[in-house]
Structure 1
Amino acid sequence: MSQLHFYEFYLQFKHLRKVFQHRFTLTPSTNFLASLYGEGADLKPQDTAQGLTSTSSECVPTSSALQCDPIIQKYGEKKRGLTSYTLTLEEQKKNDYPIKGSPACKGYIDTECHQQRTDSSPLFGLDCEMCLTAKGNEVTRVSLVDAQGQCLLNELVKPETTVVNYRTRFSGITKKMLLPVKTRLSDIQTRLKKMLPHDAVLVGHSLNADLQALEMIHPSVIDTSLLFARNKGRRFKLKFLAKAVLGKEIQCEEKLGHDPAEDARAALELAQFFIEQGPAKVAELNLEMLLTTEKLAEVSQNKAALQPEGCRIQKQLNEPPRLSKPCFLDCLQGTGQKPLLLGRQELNSSGLCQSNPSISNKQVLQRALEDVPLSTFSIIQFGLGPEYIASHHLAGLCEKVRSKLTDMLTIYAGPFEKSFCLKSVEKEFGKCGPIHSFTVVTETYKPYVCIQYEVLEAAQLAVESLNEAEVAGSCIKVQRPVTAAMLDCDVLIKELELDVENEGVIYVAGLKKSLTETDLQEKFSQLKDLETLFLPKDHQSGKHRNCCFLRFRTPQSAADALELINGGAVRGGKLSSRHALAAGHLWRWIWLVNHSNGTQGGNIFHKKMEQLSDSEQDLRKKVKKLDHHIKKLYRSLQNNTLCVVLFPGVNSLYGSQSSGLGLMAIKDDRGRSAC
């Protein structure tokens, strides 16, 4: 099944859309399953990191590579005092730190450490271990260390509610340990308030989670997971940083869980190292390269351990030393976990082998229901028969999806008087959003206009706001093309609007071309709970398309904003808005529809209404049944199981659709998914 099938049978995938709430784009690939597994291709040592020059014992970044290091880009090369590395209020908000006055932090205890910080303010390392309870994550152990590494507090805490999962492997906490404990969270909060000086700076690794669990607010923090900056929002683990920077082994496998005092001390020493040595020295450690080398070495050791001794010696004699790019399944098996692979085709780590037509989706489901609960990691492949994935069928399916999207983007408006002003009509409809094409239909007794928009929201806004309105001196009707595929358009629009990806997102049109993103940020900053402003721009000119999208924290805030925005104005431009319809992955498809070389979508007068063929009706039933299979399998999974559904892309005559689509959810017994 491909991404095409998801869009064509969007309404049939009722359960999939409801539960798998997070969507993402897949990287294009010629061999979909092989890329999913991560084929084990050889990788020469000099290819592992660009911009590195090799010495006899280590890889040192060149000056140009050093300038590109995210640590240098964030802090510069000069040494600074500790106050330069404390998180700003904006950074704390962005990284989910408890903030004074925030509705989410109602009832939290303030440490009342509000004295002005200086570069000589005292540092304290803090770390907590949590267990999962009926309430959520609750603190069960707290450690605080001072700048000399002395442990000031190392205490077990009795959670308020029943423990659901002790997470002993990570927390080190057992039921037996907590039985005699009398200390409560309120006791720890009181002690911490007394122990911390008024200008104290707290240090921790992802310290926001510790402060959230402690239900405490502290104004000045250094977060080592953010201090040792990486690209693309990634973070180094504390265990790796302790080894790479400090030369210390923490969180050892032989120990039962993490020691919060050890972790707090490691985070504190990392911050001290960064402050004392400066960003340039830290960047020279080349942590990214060290991490890559460590991972490759681990994979190499695991693969070698699985081979007989004679094979390993012979291989070493016959082959030059090379680093091996880790294969996904090799990595998994190297940790002692054997993945479960089930499908209508024989699956292995090199991709697909000969298909087995005798195996049905129902048989795959039955096997999965029995075997998945016993496996740590499973890949289950459902599919359609070969007649539905043949190239000619996919080309036809692609044209159907493309045609339907074009029809949804297209509206017809009229009738107008023969001498109507074309410019004023285009201007009026342009207020609804960016127009892709605008043509006059003259075959009718009175002229009509055919408008194809760039975005779904614009077409829908035109239908809702301009139908039966007076435009250019005529009372007009606005409608979409009448085709068989468009008869359920209203249902589809409603489903798109209710899609979780569009929750709290509104579309705003009517923006003047002279407005900048800064102007809009200033205008909309007063709206309650506004999280993000997205201003689509033309790829060639770089100018915005007189519309934007606003994401709010809650659907109610979005609804309130709609009332405030509709009919309002920004620098003379009258605004109109509605709820969003197209998530990011659908945006890309619409762009392809508007910019591919295929034929235009259906015509309201000439398109013939055809009944679904038997094979198409059969396919629709198969997809509906497949959605039911996914529902059944999902419900059988253990709570907190990460589930990912992948639809590979397809190349077609009408534009490359090769990227594909992914959907993700985490199983939750409450009937909804958490992402």
Structure 2
Amino acid sequence: MEQEEEANPRKRKEAPNSALATELVEPRSDVQDREPQAKKARLSTILFADNCEVTHRQLCELLKYAILGKSAVPKPSWCQLSHQKQLNNVVVFILKGMSQLHFYKFYLEFRFLRKTFRHKFSLPPPTSSFLFDIIGLQKKKSTRGFPRTVEGPLISATLKSSIDLQNDPIIQKYGYKNVGLTRCLLTKEEMKTFHFPLPGSPNCESFILSKYSGFITDSSPLFGLDCEVCLTSMGKELTRISLVAEGGHCLMDELVKPDLKILDYLTSFSGITKEILNPVTTKLKDVQKLLRELLPPDAVLVGHCLDLDLRVLKMIHPYVIDTSLLYIGKQGRRFKLAFLAKVILGKDIQCPDKLGHDGLEDARTALELVQYFLKYGPKKIAEFNLEALEANQEQGNKEGATHMSVLKCLDSMGQKLLFLTQDVDELSSYRNCQTIKCSSNKEVLEQARVEVPLFPFNIVEFSFQPFPPLFAEEMKNSMKTKWTQMSTVYAGPFSEDCNVGALKKPYFSIQYEVLEAAQLAIETMNGILLEGSCIRVHRLVTELTLECDTLIRGLEQDSENQGTIYVAGIGETFKEHVLEQSNLFPDLEAVILPKEVKSRKQKNYCFLKFKTVNSAQVALEILKGKDWKLKGRNALTPRHLQAWLKDIHPDPTMPMGLRIVPPLLERHIFRTLKANHPKIIAWRWSRRIEKLYHSLSPGTFCVILMPGTKNTFGSHPGLGMMKIKEEEESDTPGMRV
């Protein structure tokens, strides 16, 4: 058997009508966080609800998270994607016209899909806009910006009514009237409080003093300053300095190479890489010298969190205006420079699609903010109600991220989506979607091999003729019969004196709730001696169960069942027994305890999920050896399959355990109605997707979607599968793939 990467569901509160899953070990993602060398993108599903259904909106949540990560969009509520930044690209395969019914009807033919894709889930029947649903285009985008007048953004009546000018910290410090430049300077006491470098300050012995004169007026010149840094063994050190004069004229924009080895370039903030800094010869002392020459004695330095800039410059200058303190909020709250730029100046800076910050842009912005403050005065600033605006913006960003489409996510990164299809071109009107129209599924496949590696996000759509409505209903009924027969065993013969229940029969049938129970009965009870008679336990051989043994072996090798065992005969205290002796099961990840829907009473069986196949087998032997009167075997039915079978089961009120019924008469079974052709299609396309999958680069997040079908005769739910392709994958037993 092959062994898949294991899902590691997070501990969470039990939802209504759910199976209780008890987390016994810390999430694997945390373990990976402590092992930097093992950092790879990891996927783990949290699917314990009875229906195990993932909505189209939830699927869209995951796809957006795979693109942008937690810094920009909320984490998916139903699964865990760790180390998202390690993903190389995303490929979504849509098998249009196929449903969950197709997958389990031709389960053996879909060998590659069932053995490779560890994470499977049900999808609701498709809407008429399935493609739009899964990429979020059916949602109306929430636009919460800051409309701007000549003097700044408009403030809504609601926000204006909540303004308390008298208690605003800016009004309390500066009053209502306009102030001059000297009034905005930080005092010596404030500079001490906010850790600005000063003569005699700790750790400032080697700092250089600027040529300040001591004579400052409201007409003294302003200079915007911004510094970018890296990390060395000594902490943060200067890698870039930007200095602008009033009017935004650039006086200095220099790269600086630290003397010590750089441990982290902090590229996401600074935009500086090893390649950029390699040829640089400018040192800190060169910048200090140039800065002393450029700044006049009465220069006023302006910046945002300016204390940090002066410390990496290792310079002391007493005349400073810090915009993070000039536009101060209640209880000393500091607003981000990008927020102030948007609200006060109506300009966007530090855009997410840019690599790092633009030092000149940040320096100019800080300078403009001071000039705005001096021009319009404290009262105007207080009327912005900055704290309410920030709270409003954060809520808008959160809601906007929830309703943002996949295309919008890609657009924010300056990327495009590739859409390969042979059907109607649904996405051609969107500017950041590259659509390639193909004449056949074969051409879609050929184009995918060439184009997919070139795009960060791909949708590859194959179109298949769905089952005709009447034929689909017959297949569904056939599946009902097949799984019922597979879950039913016949035992006998019994002697005439044997009284089982209220009936005296030489044979009786037992219908179990789960397939594992029926298979366990055959494996453990067939051939036992009862009152001198050798009892046989087996299934009824019908046209539908002829391939039952092959199907059972296929289910055992399904990647979703790897490392999971079924245990029967448990009591109310079984979970406590396992927890008390958890040292016997070190690789146990979760205990899944199904409950009755109405009574919420715990059933007498459970599923134990382990990290590896070997750990599951060892645990199974231990449990059998214990004096707990337990029986068990490898799991056969994934959670979403159990839910689907329950939905199509002919007798949902069937009690737990066995049921005594008269022998079933031989009945005519539905014929497969020329099912050979769909079987060949399923086998062929499983092979083709396998080849395409192996051509993908490691770190590719691969999603297979069978959307389901819907027509006037009824609807059939879809099926989703997903996996992150790793560096090396093997079919060798015991190897993680």
TM-score category (smaller protein): 0.5 to 0.7
Change (3 A) 1:536 1:167: farther
Match of 1:606 in 2: 666
1:196-254 superposed Cα distances (whole Å, 9 cap, x missing partner): xxxxxxxxxxxxxxxxxxxxxxxxxxxxxxxxxxxxxxxxxxxx999899x99989654
**C-alpha distance in 1 between matches for 2:487 and 2:415:** 49
In the TM superposition, what is the alpha-carbon distance from 1:598 to its structure 2 partner? 12
Q: Secondary structure at the match of 1:518?
A: helix
- 1:400-439 correspondence to structure 2 within 5 Å: 400-423=478-501
Answering whether residue 528 of structure 2 is matched by residue 469 of structure 1, we say yes
Match of 1:366 in 2: 446
Counterpart of 2:624 (choices 566, 569, 582) is: 566
- 1:423-462 correspondence to structure 2 within 5 Å: 423=501, 446-462=505-521
In the TM superposition, what is the alpha-carbon distance from 1:24 to its structure 2 partner? 2.8
Q: In the alignment, residue 484 of structure 1 is paired with which amino acid?
A: E
Match of 2:635 in 1: 580
Q: Secondary structure at the match of 2:420?
A: strand
In the TM superposition, what is the alpha-carbon distance from 1:396 to its structure 2 partner? 1.9
Match of 1:645 in 2: 704
**C-alpha distance in 2 between matches for 1:544 and 1:331:** 44
Change (3 A) 1:576 1:298: closer
- 1:491-502 correspondence to structure 2 within 5 Å: 491-502=550-561
Counterpart of 1:379 (choices 455, 459, 478) is: 459
Answering whether residue 159 of structure 2 is matched by residue 57 of structure 1, we say yes
Change (3 A) 1:394 1:528: same
Q: In the alignment, residue 389 of structure 1 is paired with which amino acid?
A: F
- 1:648-659 correspondence to structure 2 within 5 Å: 648-650=707-709, 657-658=716-717
In the TM superposition, what is the alpha-carbon distance from 1:179 to its structure 2 partner? 12
Counterpart of 2:419 (choices 341, 350, 354) is: 341
Counterpart of 1:8 (choices 80, 105, 116) is: 105
**C-alpha distance in 2 between matches for 1:406 and 1:59:** 67
Match of 1:118 in 2: none
TM-align CA RMSD:
4.9
Q: Which moved more, 1:17-26 or 1:247-256?
A: 247-256
1:343-364 superposed Cα distances (whole Å, 9 cap, x missing partner): 232241499xxxx999432122
Change (3 A) 1:338 1:461: same
1:260-296 superposed Cα distances (whole Å, 9 cap, x missing partner): xxxxxxxxxxxxxxxxxxxxxxxx9999975551266
Answering whether residue 397 of structure 2 is matched by residue 294 of structure 1, we say yes
**C-alpha distance in 2 between matches for 1:654 and 1:529:** 47
Match of 1:30 in 2: 127
Counterpart of 1:555 (choices 598, 602, 613) is: 613
**C-alpha distance in 1 between matches for 2:481 and 2:356:** 60
Change (3 A) 1:402 1:242: farther
Aligned residues: 436
Change (3 A) 1:399 1:244: farther
**C-alpha distance in 2 between matches for 1:33 and 1:626:** 21
Change (3 A) 1:448 1:547: same
Q: Secondary structure at the match of 1:619?
A: helix
Q: Which moved more, 1:587-596 or 1:402-411?
A: 587-596
Match of 2:649 in 1: 594
Q: Secondary structure at the match of 1:378?
A: strand
Change (3 A) 1:168 1:565: same
**C-alpha distance in 1 between matches for 2:263 and 2:509:** 69
**C-alpha distance in 2 between matches for 1:475 and 1:58:** 88
Match of 1:508 in 2: 567
Change (3 A) 1:450 1:669: same
- Contact 2:350/2:357 (8 A) holds in 1: no
Q: Secondary structure at the match of 1:668?
A: coil
**C-alpha distance in 2 between matches for 1:167 and 1:478:** 68
- Contact 1:365/1:633 (8 A) holds in 2: yes
Q: In the alignment, residue 114 of structure 2 is paired with which amino acid?
A: R
**C-alpha distance in 2 between matches for 1:18 and 1:391:** 29
Structure in which a larger fraction of residues adopt helix: 1
In the TM superposition, what is the alpha-carbon distance from 1:508 to its structure 2 partner? 1.0
In the TM superposition, what is the alpha-carbon distance from 1:26 to its structure 2 partner? 2.9
Counterpart of 1:332 (choices 388, 407, 410) is: 410
Q: Secondary structure at the match of 1:582?
A: coil
Answering whether residue 714 of structure 2 is matched by residue 616 of structure 1, we say no
Change (3 A) 1:645 1:419: same
**C-alpha distance in 2 between matches for 1:642 and 1:59:** 49
Change (3 A) 1:335 1:173: closer
Match of 1:630 in 2: 689
Scaled by the length of structure 2, what TM-score is found? 0.50
Scaled by the length of structure 1, what TM-score is found? 0.54
- 1:107-122 correspondence to structure 2 within 5 Å: none
Q: In the alignment, residue 14 of structure 1 is paired with which amino acid?
A: R
Q: Percent of pairs identical after alignment?
A: 35
**C-alpha distance in 2 between matches for 1:553 and 1:329:** 36
Change (3 A) 1:358 1:403: farther
**C-alpha distance in 2 between matches for 1:633 and 1:647:** 17
Q: Structure 2 regions of 5+ residues with no counterpart?
A: 1-97, 145-155, 163-229, 237-258, 281-334, 343-347, 360-386, 430-435
Q: Which moved more, 1:633-642 or 1:603-612?
A: 603-612
Q: Structure 1 regions of 5+ residues with no counterpart?
A: 47-53, 61-139, 147-152, 159-165, 181-239, 260-283, 300-324, 424-438
Q: Secondary structure at the match of 1:558?
A: helix
1:119-170 superposed Cα distances (whole Å, 9 cap, x missing partner): xxxxxxxxxxxxxxxxxxxxx9777979xxxxxx995359xxxxxxx99779
**C-alpha distance in 2 between matches for 1:456 and 1:175:** 60
Q: Secondary structure at the match of 1:56?
A: helix
